[in-house]
Amino acid sequence: MVPGGVLRPSGCGVDRAFGVRDIRALILAPAGDASGPVVPLVTRATESTDTGCLVGDYGALPDDAIALVGPGECLRRDQVIAAQQAGAAGFVAVFPKVPPGIVLRPTLVDPRDLSIPAAAVSQGAAEALVAAAKDGVPARLVTDAHTEQARTRTVLAELPGSADGQVIMLGAHLDSVIDGPGINDNGSGVAALLEIARSLGGTRPQATVRMAFWSGEETGLHGSTRYVAALSPNQKDAILVYANVDMIASPNGFAGVYDEPGAAVGSATASELLGAAVTRNGGTPVQVNLHGGSDHYGFVEAGMATAGVFSGFLEPVSAEQAAASGAEAGRLADGCYHQPCDDLGNIDLQLARVLAAGLADFTVQVANNPELLTG
């Protein structure tokens, strides 16, 4: 993926050009060149309207419109497709909660059916586009992107149990984003699984412990969803719980334990046991809802019980989270999320140890006593 792009809104007779620091093509978006009026679905760069998921959200677009869209209750891919079907010539994603100077670019999951240039912009570029729309002046969006198919491999490891037909599964994704080294996201999760695997060496639990090191998470959860789709009904029934480990060393983080309203039956019990294990290992668990935004999503969709640990990402830490962890309220849990600075200087090793130890404790407990999950 070549991330280059140029955005040139005009206003008050003066052109403003934004480049790679302020604009990046969305992952898997096609290259393109669009010039036309800006049509914002937001009135301010810092506003989120939870819209843009339906063709009707865009109204009667003028010819060659460039749609400026905040986060909605759907995937960015769904928004791009809706804008495209509504007649937009270009799509620009804005992120109201992202601090100035940061550009996030989500994946569009599948390049098929995408035909318009789509990019993410910084807050400064978004403000310039809002101003251009207000002044009634056009903008030009140019992206230079190239997508190729490549084969990836998920790595599976298994510690056989003494009883047949019962599996405790843990998983973490191996890949990082194109824009950063991914030490917290998700080197921390991979390191936790490797340490848990080392500690289980030579043991024989009742339930089989299976670990998955997923590929393709950052480009659309490809490794985990493909794995789940290939499971037979009996194989699905054998997995008592899938526990996900995605980011556990955020430098201003907290001891998050999954609590997702849409999770399948058995998830609440698993999350309660995992939270208790985190407590036993020195953490104060805080319930978090990732809205299916990691590798547990495929398991949730398949009706399988899920749990997981998480230390926060590009969201301000709440007062509750700060009180539980000692983090600074109002500051981002991980200001380097999906950025080049997600390196070895961007981790809280003590928090990672607490969450990894809690997950290991939980794994040993339920693998030796699977009736805790089934009873």
Catalytic residues: 217
Alpha-carbon span 198 to 285, nearest angstrom: 25
Q: What do you get for the CA distance between the two ends of the chain, in Å?
A: 48
Buried b (16+ CB within 10 A) or exposed e, 33-63: ebebbbbbbbeebbeebebbbeeebbeebee
Q: Are 29 and 118 in contact (CB under 8 A)?
A: yes
Question: Which residues touch 150 (CB under 8 Å, ≥6 apart)?
Answer: none
Q: How far is CA 63 from CA 13, 15, 38, 67, in A?
A: 22, 21, 11, 11
CA nearest 8: which of 103, 132, 141, 112? 141
CA atoms within 13 A on the CB side of 91: 32
Q: How far, in whole angstroms, is CA 236 from its chain's centroid?
A: 24
Number of neighbours of residue 162 by Cβ within 10 angstroms? 11
Distance (Å, whole) CA 92 – CA 80: 9
Q: Give the gyration radius of the chain's Cα atoms.
A: 22
Rounded distance between C-alpha atoms, residue 346 and residue 245, angstroms: 17
Best CA proximity match to 335, nearest among 28, 343, 24, 176: 343
Tokens of 40: 């914002």
Whether 128 and 44 have beta carbons less than 8 Å apart is answered as no
